[in-house]
Amino acid sequence: MSPSSTSIPSKSTPLSKVALLGFGTVGSSVARILVERHNSRLKLTHIYNRNVARKKVDWLPSEVVWTENIDDVLASDADIIVEVMGGLQPTEDWVRRALGSGKSVVTANKQLIAHCGVDLIALAQQNRQQIEFGASVAGGVPVISGVHEGLAGDELFKICGILNGTCNYILSQIEANGVPFATALREAQKLGFAEADPTDDIDGLDARAKITILARVGLHCNVAASSIVAKTISPIDNIDFEYANQLGYTIRQISMAELKDGVLYASVGPALVELNSPLARVEGSQNLVMATGVYGGETVFGGHGAGGHPTAVAVVSDILAIARAKRSADGTAAQPAGTAAQPAEEAQDVSSDFTTKHYLRFVVRDRPGIIASLATILDRHHINIDSVLQKPGHPKSHLPFLITLEDYKTSLVEQALQQINALDFMVQPCLHMPIL
């Protein structure tokens, strides 16, 4: 019988007891799957949450223990602790205590794994337990297990994708409806795609945590999230989509990690992608990850990256993986998704200095000689202009136009832009994006 068989287990199969930390959107969906799923040897025993009197529901079995005291959970006989609360503290302390007390852990907490994952994996190994985090990247898309297990026979050297549904929804709205960034953001907040404070999403911090995890699991690189450059999507305007479309591109927030000559090139930010790329066809709040290997070429993972039910499916899948390992014939714990991919202790060198084509959108107070002034500065840095585009109909006091550049290192272009942004005709800093 295969490990994934749904046949009714024998009565001798040990029961795995599950405790849940957090009963919000994801936590309540996890609980519902656990109690409604048939032929499972999983039992939900404890739920920790603040103000449990307001959280209690009548569809859970009466024997489930609700508590506001974390010690009730950590001292219980639960085998698996599921953490879906988010944040770094106190969740890190609780996860450490759970692993130290002989309990395995499932978490959807991307920041926790991005910042503390290496240490937590080591702690799990020391205590012969597991920590699974398949829901921490792309929600319901099984990219962690797919990259680590499904592509284990390949030698991956590049992972890129759309890892933040909020940003993708906002950019899709600007593109489809021609609305300003602020309008698209308000719509995303109204529909629940964006938080009241969307900083982590639009400034790339959420996606940066996710690409950090993927670089560790898929490329075996020990990366500090803070070492990866993240740029905001907030300057993107409808005019940028018009220019991009003229060039045969669209704009998406792209997270990228590429291992080349011993250096990890990684970044998060808005970029131009070709209209025929799978990345260009990702709309709304969906996620997509492209993993490229030496032997297997490009593999694409896509689907719903957020939401209670898709994320809960990934969490429950991790719970089942741990339960199967605990039922293995030799009684030893199988290695979780992150453990076998644990990188060396030495940190990986990280650079954002990609060599690529470049998109430069300027907004200026129009006057003669502007292009000549820009060309002079670019020439000093030995940078060639590839094309110049200007759409008519804009006021002279706030005139947008586009310059594209040939392939150059990002650092070289940014050096030139430091001088350009200081010119007196510049209304705002130049918007600089890579053309992938």
What gap in Å lies between CA 215 and CA 225, rounded to an integer?
Answer: 10
Q: What structural domains does the chain harbor? A: 16-140+308-326 (3.40.50.720), 143-304+347-351 (3.30.360.10), 355-435 (3.30.70.260)
What gap in Å lies between CA 222 and CA 22, rounded to an integer?
Answer: 29
Peptide bond into 235 cis (omega under 30): no
Q: Mean per-residue pLDDT for 171-187?
A: 95
Query: Residue 332: left (phi > 0), alpha (psi -120 to 50), or beta?
Result: beta
Note the pLDDT of residue 38: 64
Per-residue pLDDT of 273-327, as tens digits, reads 999 999 999 988 889 999 999 999 999 999 877 667 888 999 999 999 999 887 7
Q: Mean per-residue pLDDT for 93-114?
A: 96
The dihedrals phi and psi of 340, each to the nearest 5 degrees, come to -65, -25
Check pLDDT > 70 for residue 203.
yes
Q: How confident is the model at residue 40 (pLDDT cuts 50, 70, 90)?
A: low
pTM of the model: 0.88
What gap in Å lies between CA 183 and CA 195, rounded to an integer?
Answer: 15
Q: Mean per-residue pLDDT for 340-357?
A: 74
Check pLDDT > 50 for residue 148.
yes
- Report the range out of 25-34, 46-55, 244-253 with the highest average pLDDT: 244-253
Q: Mean per-residue pLDDT for 79-90?
A: 95
Which residues, in sequence order, are CB contacts of 365 under 8 Å at separation 6+?
Answer: 396, 397, 398, 399, 425, 427
Check pLDDT > 70 for residue 332.
no
Would you call 332 helix, strand, or coil by DSSP?
coil
Note the pLDDT of residue 356: 97
Note the pLDDT of residue 55: 92
Catalytic residue numbers read: 210
Check pLDDT > 50 for residue 9.
no
Per-residue pLDDT of 379-436, as tens digits, reads 999 999 999 999 999 999 999 999 999 999 999 999 999 999 999 999 999 999 999 9
